[in-house]
Structure 1
């Protein structure tokens, strides 16, 4: 019998409850829309023929359209204000927390937080006890925060939200990496057996399940902590948009194409750049566990 991770069950329950009661957050809608647009509007997407050993695959072009994350606030030294009629919650700053930490805890971009809090920036330290307004659906933000803190408590890590605290992720499939992350390839290719199970690398919500040019059958999972995982070149997607998944949940059947007896999975991780506020690709091998499961 599979061992149940109580913390993960709690996180999934909170996400499900938040989804049932929430009014979709405009900030979250914009983030997901921007990510999907960034993936969709590319020159070639990932190469369907895959990249072999030593080859570099062309990757999706990063978006330069910052309208989704514009920061129009004017910074003032000691004037932190919450815009009227904005949905969200107030966060009380604790020792060691920064804007980057709040981004990681709530999954909201730094420019979005700055826009709702005049006088805060990456160059200004947050003070213990300071109130910072976090825009978004209160139920969703609360679920994200609770799941994040629960995860950190379980792992024994600090809960300040620093970038060095990203928990190692499970592997999306059993196989061998044949093309690594680089400036020209924003994801990795994993050599897999045809029909392999493609699994969610962590708890989250499906925000896209469909076909995209250059990616074939594609799935995007929002892990509700500012991190998104992308799974491409699937033979068949078996989850739908809005589904909640746990670590190891089967989301697709791998291998839309068989070459010399094997198939390939395109896998990518994206997070929010703390300076630009835009989604950007990060090296999956730095965040995946040392051993494939």
Structure 2
């Protein structure tokens, strides 16, 4: 169990929590496209023969966000592999760890040259951090750059991590239910939130939006 936990922590904290994919040296760097008046995500994607979602994800955006004239977009090369999220079945609905909900300040990214394997919420009025799903506290500790953090283990090999806490209010081995208190958020940082399923990395925003599948 100790060895498994150390392996898990290494995965979470490799380059500051995010898990970094191995870069393929043969990958072709993304090309670029200058947005023109009247362009849309779907139109550009069709023109460049790529998926609209992949195009938006590559640029750290979503297809619901507006494009701006003369904006430069990165376009996936023919050998560039962009994974939007791991294919998983999440049986339990994950709740937002902050109430009221805060906007996402930094989004999830699996890009080899700019990975970010979780999301960071904006620091707003929310200070109480709650469990996103029921589970067991498998680790609670401190790490430079991410303050105090808590890792929960859920069913089906799922783990969630909560970073940038000023104070932890749970102990290792404790069983928690959805929305139970985990700690108090640091005054000057937004919550860092990550979800893994075994060694697969999930997009926390998609898990929170989709809920149970």
Shift of 1:60: 4.2
Give 1:153's aligned residue: none
RMSD in angstroms over aligned alpha carbons? 2.5
Give 1:171's aligned residue: 96
Point out the structure with max Rg over C-alpha: 1
Shift of 1:282: 1.0
Alignment of 1:99-178 (within 5 A): 163-173=88-98, 174-178=101-105
Give 1:202's aligned residue: 133
In structure 2, the CA distance between the partners of 1:165 and 1:198, relative to structure 1 (3 Å rule), is: closer
Give 1:265's aligned residue: 191
SS of corresponding position for 2:165: strand
Deviations 1:33-58 (A, max 9, x none): 31112224x33x16xxxxxxxxxxxx
Task: Supply the distance in 2 between the matched residues of 1:38 and 1:213 (Cα, whole angstroms).
Answer: 16
- Relative to the length of structure 1, the TM-score reads 0.44
- Relative to the length of structure 2, the TM-score reads 0.59
Unaligned runs of 5+ in 2: 23-86
- Count of aligned pairs: 141
Shift of 1:194: 5.8
More strand by share: 2
Give 1:252's aligned residue: 183
In structure 2, the CA distance between the partners of 1:165 and 1:204, relative to structure 1 (3 Å rule), is: closer
Q: Match for 1:285 among 170, 194, 205?
A: 205
Shift of 1:290: 6.3
In structure 2, the CA distance between the partners of 1:165 and 1:237, relative to structure 1 (3 Å rule), is: closer
Give 1:235's aligned residue: 166
In structure 2, the CA distance between the partners of 1:165 and 1:285, relative to structure 1 (3 Å rule), is: same
Shift of 1:165: 4.8
Alignment of 1:215-230 (within 5 A): 215-230=146-161
Task: Supply the distance in 1 between the matched residues of 2:155 and 2:202 (Cα, whole angstroms).
Answer: 17
Task: Supply the distance in 2 between the matched residues of 1:281 and 1:168 (Cα, whole angstroms).
Answer: 17
Task: Supply the distance in 2 between the matched residues of 1:226 and 1:253 (Cα, whole angstroms).
Answer: 26
SS of corresponding position for 2:9: helix
In structure 2, the CA distance between the partners of 1:165 and 1:209, relative to structure 1 (3 Å rule), is: closer
SS of corresponding position for 1:210: strand
Q: Match for 2:12 among 39, 61, 70?
A: 39
Give 2:120's aligned residue: 189
Give 1:17's aligned residue: none
Whether contact under 8 Å (1:166, 1:287) holds in the other structure is no
